[in-house]
Amino acid sequence: MVCYYHLQPFVGGETLLGFLRRQDKDKTEQAARPTRAGFFSRISQLLGRPALDAGDWDELEEALILADVGLPTASRLLATVRERARRESLASGEAVAAALRQAMVEVLSLPSQAPAPSPSGLRVVLAVGVNGSGKTTSIAKLAYALKQEGQAVVLAAADTFRAAAIDQLQVWGERAGATVIAGQPGADPGAVAFDALQAARSRRADVLLVDTAGRLHTKFNLMEELKKVHRILERQLESPPEVLLVLDATMGQNALAQARHFLAAVGVHGIFLAKLDGTAKGGIVLAICHELQVPVAFIGTGEGLEDLAPFDPVAFAAALLPPLRS
């Protein structure tokens, strides 16, 4: 969602991205620490060699794959870097590292795919993702950031399959200072989303964030439910709802498989990659951008309300592969 949030000034000319950047520039660097200390430290070591031979390139590819970058993305990155190294006669490990960093930034920088903002001014975001991915927490973080910016936020508790999910969203909503619209456990999630949309409109809210049930992608009927919620919202809106997929970074390559199911069911405009701080598998960000061509909009950097950062390709690439020490 940041994809178009940062294009549009909010109250006072500030943007959400600007607000978050001002809050904490170091969050990306900190959240990427476990990944940097993991397989990316091997990559830094390899590039620290005076000159790279053919075997080193193979080792680099292997290290990228082990860092959850995946084969297709590792191959693409190294093809770009090798071609540049040949063309520009890059000799030092530092020069190759800089070329790899640049290739990473290129893979990570995807254009916004968010639907055009609605003329009414209300932004409707459907948050999807499997149970436990960090969906509720991530919604609360976004609500909190938007509130800080002076936005009126309504949350819809459309995960009606688990009573605990409704309670959890209510608790988080209260903490974040957002209104929560909820139904009874077991209620029709489409009806809850519909009611929340009416409530958001009558309150002249700026943003409606809809929580959905933790869909196990293998359960076809639950995906059908999700499609129904999407259809109901789409019918009511001038432009389709924005779909934000929350993925758990600790799942590594498995997160990609999950994402493909959601892409096929409702389409995905942006990804909130939760729990980046808790994994050495942060290379998955590269695979997500390259293989799915869906931009990562936010990263989760901890369990608290303020623990998110807008995804910044340059900062992230530099955090994974910092300049080598001479």
Three-class DSSP category at 244: strand
CB contact at 8 A, 77 and 100: yes
Provide CB contacts within 8 A for 249, sequence distance 6+: 255, 273, 274, 275, 276, 278, 279, 281, 282, 284, 285, 299, 300
| In the complex, least distance from residue 100 CB atom to ligand GDP, rounded to whole angstroms | 26
Tell the smallest beta-carbon distance from residue 13 to ligand GDP (Å). 29
Q: How many chain residues interact with ligand GDP (CB under 6 A)? A: 19
In this chain, which of 302, 306, 314, 322 binds ligand GDP, going by CB under 6 A?
302
**How far is Cα 78 from Cα 103, in angstroms, rounded to an integer?**
8
**284/287 Cα distance (integer angstroms):** 5
Q: Is 250 in the site for ligand GDP (CB under 6 A)?
A: no
We find the least distance from the C-beta atom of residue 301 to ligand GDP, in angstroms, to be 6
Site for ligand GDP in 88-147 (CB under 6 A): 129, 131-138
> Given the complex with ligand GDP, which of 9 and 132 has the nearer CB atom?
132
**Among 1, 100, 255, 274, interactor with ligand GDP by CB under 6 A:** 274
Tell the smallest beta-carbon distance from residue 273 to ligand GDP (Å). 8
Smallest gap from Cβ 190 to ligand GDP, in A, equals 19
- Residue with Cβ nearer ligand GDP (99 or 272): 272
- Cβ 105 to ligand GDP shortest distance, Å: 23
307 binds ligand GDP (CB under 6 A): yes
Task: Using the minimum distance from each CB to ligand GDP, give the nearer residue, 96 or 210.
Answer: 210
User: Which residue is associated with the tokens 């509130």?
Assistant: 147
Closer to ligand GDP by Cβ: residue 122 or 176: 176
275 interacts with ligand GDP by CB under 6 A: yes
Q: Give min distance, CB of 140 to ligand GDP, in A.
A: 8
Of 191-199, 200-208, 256-264, 274-282, the segment contacting ligand GDP by CB under 6 A is: 274-282
* Nearer to ligand GDP (CB atom), residue 77 or residue 176: 176
3-state secondary structure of 312: coil
Contacts of 286 (CB under 8 A, 6+ apart): 69, 70, 73, 77, 104, 107, 108
Q: Under a CB-based contact definition with an 8 Å cutoff, are residues 153 and 178 in contact?
A: yes
Nearest to 321 by CA among 37, 121, 20: 37
Q: Which residue's CB comes closest to ligand GDP?
A: 300
Q: Least CB distance from residue 210 to ligand GDP, whole Å? A: 13
Judge whether 186 and 178 are in contact, CB under 8 Å: no
Among the listed ranges 71-79, 112-120, 224-232, 273-281, the one in contact with ligand GDP (CB under 6 A) is 273-281
Selected from 300, 305, 311, 319, the binder of ligand GDP by CB under 6 A is 300
**Cα 110 from chain centre:** 12
Query: Residue 57: what are its φ and ψ, rounded to 5°?
Result: -65, -40
Binding residues among 16-45 for ligand GDP as defined by CB under 6 A: none
88-111: b (≥16 Cβ within 10 Å) or e: eebebbeebbbbbbebbbebbebe
As given in the structure block, the two tokens for residue 304 are 């608290």
Footprint on this chain of ligand GDP (rule: CB under 6 A): 129, 131-138, 214, 274-275, 277-278, 300-303, 307
